[in-house]
């Protein structure tokens, strides 16, 4: 990824994704996670304080070594066992039907092939397993979408390939999940083109 991607970007993401606006969303998306959880895009562990008591283990998928190092303090403070198990959400090192839950927070925007990553999550979850997600993506309003298409090239350069025009719920259902609950809204405190959120739960039938 080069110096910027390896040494600078993880620090930017740690600060940007650890802000006060994101904390209530992390709380909501982590509610009712259970059992063994795979978290793609673990980053610097900003979700750790919100893991509920019914989580028995978290398998963290995170490509950035610096992101994992930045998570050290949070890892030492949690009672939930967390282990870094892989680098690539597009190729998960788990058997079919082996995990109870999955978690993704602002991750599907940067994975090069989000469809492949979602198919992998579907593969490794047990039947009835739940995928909890909060992601930004294609806005519901045409005016905002026009700004998204204008801004996305710059956004991808500055933020590690981050796409703001991916149709999140369509991608999830195409991968074979059934969405059981979802809320779409604009996050407060930022530009609408980057703040069109989808927060919900999808189930592997």
User: pLDDT 10s per residue in the chain (205 long)?
Assistant: 566 555 566 665 655 565 667 899 999 999 999 999 999 999 999 999 999 999 999 999 999 899 999 999 999 999 999 999 999 999 999 999 999 999 999 999 999 999 999 999 999 999 999 999 999 999 999 999 999 999 999 988 888 889 999 999 999 999 999 999 999 999 988 899 999 999 999 999 9
Strand arrangement, sheet containing 35-40: 82-86, 55-61, 35-40, 99-105, 125-136, 196-204, 177-186
Q: pTM of this prediction? A: 0.93
Six-digit token pair at 7?
Answer: 């040494």
The domain in which residue 197 lies consists of 2-204
Give the pLDDT confidence score for residue 172 in this predicted structure.
98
Q: Which residue from 90, 89, 67, 83 is spatially nearest to 6, judged by alpha carbons?
A: 67
Give the pLDDT confidence score for residue 22 in this predicted structure.
87
- Contact between residue 26 and residue 46 where contact means Cβ atoms under 8 Å apart: yes
User: What CATH code is carried by the domain that includes residue 74?
Assistant: 3.40.50.150
Number of domains in the chain: 1
**CA–CA separation, 129 and 177 (whole Å):** 10
Within the chain, what is the greatest distance between any pair of CA atoms? 45
């Amino acid at each position: 990824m080069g110096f910027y991607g390896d040494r600078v970007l993880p620090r930017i993401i740690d600060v940007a994704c650890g802000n006060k606006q994101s904390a209530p969303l992390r709380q909501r998306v982590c509610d009712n996670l259970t059992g063994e959880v795979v978290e793609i895009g673990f980053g610097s562990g900003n979700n750790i304080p919100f893991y509920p008591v019914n989580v028995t283990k978290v398998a963290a998928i995170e490509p950035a070594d610096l992101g994992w190092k930045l998570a050290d303090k949070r890892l030492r403070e949690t009672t939930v066992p967390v282990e870094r198990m892989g680098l690539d959400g597009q190729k998960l090192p788990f058997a079919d039907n082996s995990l109870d839950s999955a978690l993704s927070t602002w991750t599907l925007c940067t994975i090069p092939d989000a469809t492949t990553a979602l198919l992998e999550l579907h593969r490794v979850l047990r039947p009835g397993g739940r995928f909890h997600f909060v992601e930004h993506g294609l806005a519901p309003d045409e005016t905002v979408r026009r700004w998204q298409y204008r801004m996305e090239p710059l956004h991808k350069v500055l933020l590690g390939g981050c796409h703001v025009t991916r149709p999140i719920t369509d991608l999830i259902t195409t991968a074979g999940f059934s969405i059981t609950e979802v809320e779409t809204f604009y996050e407060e405190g930022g530009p609408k083109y980057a703040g069109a959120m989808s927060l919900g739960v999808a189930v592997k039938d």
